[in-house]
Structure 1
Amino acid sequence: MDRIAVLGVGWYGFRPTTPETSFREMVFEAAARAYEDAGGINPRNDVDSFISCQEDFWEGISISDEFAPDQIGGAMRPTMTVAGDSLQGLAHAFMHINSGIADIVAIEAHSKASDILTLNDLIKFSMDPIYVRSINPINFHFIAGLDAVKFLERKGVSREDLSLVVEKNKRAGLLSPRASYASKISANDVNNKEYIVYPLTQLDIAPFVDAAIVVVVAEEEVAKKLKKDDYLLITGLGFATDSNNIETAELGKANYMRIASNIAYKMANITSPRRYFDAVFVDDRYSYKELQHLEGLGISEEPAKDLREGNFSPQGEIPVNPLGGHLSKGVPLEASGFSLLLDAIDYIRQGKGEKALVASWRGIPTFTGAVAVVERP
């Protein structure tokens, strides 16, 4: 299969609230930046298909994809919706290009979480109506608490290790223009916070943010003509759902990430991921998830040990979330995967590495993950 190239990226927001714009205006701003970054292409003439990553569940609008085309230049053009994380949208763009129906594809994903007045209740509503919703949990984080306890027990991870993840990522986020929650914080600050649900404090949980991201991709030969060597390649992609509910899931393990990464590694011909990548950008919306996902990705069998030894620090053997991750930037709903992809692209463009791994999780209550391999040609 042909590899696909990242031509351009654009973003807007990454703040707790964006009262100055609607979600459509946010996407327009991100799209304008992405098309300029792609070499000043005209979406009405140069883009063959458009993909929007959103669903009615978050938008509060029936058939919300009807509101997608205008602001990305897709009016009266082939436009489709992926009701999933933006890395899954990237996988669909890969399929568009490899099937021959498109040479250039634009993918948008956004979050206007500040418009959702009952976000906690909405997430509870997504849970199993018989076994979970019926017990009326105090907050939806209890599933993460159960998963975290199982993981900590199985891998010998301590509460202090989770604090080290928070300290590392919030400090690393000081280098990112998108990190509204970056802070020069210490592990002790995290330990002294009250639990939201054991073993997670407020600082262990990434808040939701408003953001819009547009990524423009193309067939590799097209990218060479448009931008010569000034592009990045997506050489591997995979996504998977391990289970559809908490009753059948194997808590304490990120099996979805193992399955998705194996697909991506096979596509990119990677046999030793830890030695292959210069940095890893992984979903850390809960502090323990960073360590759990690193195990699922085959990066570390003893993630807590690697963390304590500094191997995951920005200057370590294999930097993990060296621009802060979700703990610094917040969680932009379905744009979460693209948020991590933006970090990977920035990292490579800044000359800090040549090959990066991006791994996103769709969040509670799902067991769905997606993985992308990004590298210079």
Structure 2
Amino acid sequence: MQRIIGDGMVAVVGVGYAGFNSTTPDLSWKEIMYEAAVRAYTDAGINPRRDVDSFVTCAEDIYEGFAIFDEFVPDQLGAVVKPTCTVTADFLYGVATAYMHINSGLADIAVVEAHSKASDIQTFGNVVKFAMDPIWLRNVGNAHPYYLAALEMFQYMAERCLSEEDVARVVVKNKNNALLNPAAPYAANVTLDDVMASPKLFDPMKKMEIAPLADGCVVFVLASDEVARKLTDNPVWVKGIGWWSETYGYDTASFSAMYAYKAAKMAYKMAGIANPAKEVDFAEVDDRFAFKEMQHIEALQLAGKFDVARLMAEGYFDRDGAKPVNVSGGSLGVGNLLECTGGQKALEVVLQLRGEAGKRQLSDVEVGVAQAWRYLPTHSGAVAVFGV
């Protein structure tokens, strides 16, 4: 198929997901992937063996429990004897890879997959620690690595003059938002008092401010402009994509979510967005620790540096507010999906732009942003701008 290479027109034409659940003892990770893939292919109206030119999976061997993960993915994705690669990063990095495959002329249709089978991981804290520098960082204090997030939270609160109630409001908003999401296993009708009464696991971080682990999978089908218009009357365009890594370790990090700011700057430039606070209608941001949502809202330039807490208290980021954030319930409501976190964020954005978000559907939205962080112990992240 002849088309202009570098035209930048890439669309999401099919989505599918499986889960999201706190645990899935009856299903293997392969079965979760298969279920999500079949739904995505049905949604796009394609046959993967015939129509897909490139498959991109997103996984980290350390989470999977075995090496060379991409050797185990072709069967359930319908990718046997097809170009297949694994990106050891979040789902949004996979979207960026598929975008480049299509926009470079290597593919007309590309598939992106990411999943979490976190319930299979018996010692999650030790797995995260294993990714840290083995000499200087891994065994500091021999403590659970969540203490690193608590240190960052303490610094962020001090720099922004935040109270514990300011951070707790994120939990209240997201868990209540999740009540309208049938795929959110950690939805709850909670109050500010409930969150404040939650025990502190890593001072000043409370238990309810940490997203619990969850299982699930997301699969996207992306296509070039010409192919997308043939497959669907309702394409959702990838307007911009960006990613950035600050440092490999906490000992040299700025603790300012610079990865989100830099990735967003790249994505906004590609999308032609000059004023995100006015041009972005809603966002799904990484909230696996409650304070991170506030930090990421700021980094995405959706609010001023010292305005996030005030606007949160005023309901500005509520589902019916001026700038809805994490209408899906976020990770606090859906769960920590590891490398699939960005997939859950992007899925919600696409469903909203399609008008298929059910009872939580927003009105008159045309531009949405999905953002994900690669989680502890990294300072890497990606941002995608979607539009109709």
The answer on whether the counterparts of 1:53 and 1:81 sit within 8 Å (CA) in structure 2 is: yes
1:274 aligns with 2:277: yes
1:371 aligns with 2:374: no
Q: How does 1:287-302 map to 2 (within 5 A)?
A: 287-301=290-304, 302=307
Shift in Å at residue 320 of structure 1? 0.7
Q: Pick from 134, 144, 152 the counterpart of residue 147 of structure 1.
A: 152
Match of 2:374 in 1: 362
Match of 1:257 in 2: 260
Q: Pick from 235, 238, 241 the counterpart of residue 234 of structure 1.
A: 238
Q: Pick from 23, 35, 44 the counterpart of residue 17 of structure 1.
A: 23
Match of 1:323 in 2: 328
Match of 1:221 in 2: 226
Q: RMSD between aligned alpha carbons?
A: 1.0
The answer on whether the counterparts of 1:55 and 1:65 sit within 8 Å (CA) in structure 2 is: no
Shift in Å at residue 279 of structure 1? 0.6
State the one-letter code of the partner of 1:119: F
Match of 2:251 in 1: 247
The answer on whether the counterparts of 1:206 and 1:285 sit within 8 Å (CA) in structure 2 is: yes
Shift in Å at residue 299 of structure 1? 0.9
| Paired residue secondary structure (1:133) | coil
134-143 or 255-264: bigger deviation? 134-143
State the one-letter code of the partner of 2:236: L
State the one-letter code of the partner of 1:75: V
* Structure 2 Cα separation of the partners of residues 370 and 118 of structure 1: 27
4+ residue stretches of structure 1 with deviation over 3 A? none
Q: How does 1:168-247 map to 2 (within 5 A)?
A: 168-227=173-232, 229-247=233-251
The answer on whether the counterparts of 1:254 and 1:296 sit within 8 Å (CA) in structure 2 is: yes
Shift in Å at residue 134 of structure 1? 2.5
| Paired residue secondary structure (1:320) | coil
Shift in Å at residue 276 of structure 1? 0.6
Q: Pick from 294, 312, 317 the counterpart of residue 307 of structure 1.
A: 312
Deviations 1:152-186 (A, max 9, x none): 11111210011111000000011112110010101
* Structure 1 Cα separation of the partners of residues 132 and 67 of structure 2: 20
Q: TM-score, normalised by structure 1?
A: 0.97
* Structure 2 Cα separation of the partners of residues 10 and 224 of structure 1: 19
Q: TM-score, normalised by structure 2?
A: 0.94
Shift in Å at residue 296 of structure 1? 0.8
| Paired residue secondary structure (2:139) | helix
Match of 1:86 in 2: 91
* Structure 2 Cα separation of the partners of residues 232 and 177 of structure 1: 23
| Paired residue secondary structure (2:251) | coil
Shift in Å at residue 342 of structure 1? 0.9
Shift in Å at residue 138 of structure 1? 2.3
Identity, % of aligned pairs? Answer: 43
* Structure 1 Cα separation of the partners of residues 329 and 259 of structure 2: 23
Unpaired segments ≥5 residues, structure 2: 1-5, 356-360
* Structure 1 Cα separation of the partners of residues 145 and 336 of structure 2: 15
1:129 aligns with 2:134: yes
* Structure 2 Cα separation of the partners of residues 371 and 135 of structure 1: 32
State the one-letter code of the partner of 1:21: L
* Structure 2 Cα separation of the partners of residues 339 and 23 of structure 1: 16
* Structure 2 Cα separation of the partners of residues 134 and 165 of structure 1: 31
Deviations 1:52-85 (A, max 9, x none): 1012111111212100111111111100110000
The answer on whether the counterparts of 1:7 and 1:217 sit within 8 Å (CA) in structure 2 is: yes
Deviations 1:122-175 (A, max 9, x none): 111111222221224321111101110111111112100111110000000111
The answer on whether the counterparts of 1:235 and 1:374 sit within 8 Å (CA) in structure 2 is: yes
Deviations 1:228-264 (A, max 9, x none): x21100100000001111111012x111111000000
Shift in Å at residue 323 of structure 1? 1.7
Match of 1:77 in 2: 82
262-271 or 60-69: bigger deviation? 60-69
**How many pairs were matched up?**
373
Deviations 1:298-352 (A, max 9, x none): 1112211111111111111101111210000001111110111111112222262
* Structure 2 Cα separation of the partners of residues 194 and 55 of structure 1: 31
Deviations 1:35-54 (A, max 9, x none): 0111x210000101101101
345-354 or 187-196: bigger deviation? 345-354
1:120 aligns with 2:125: yes
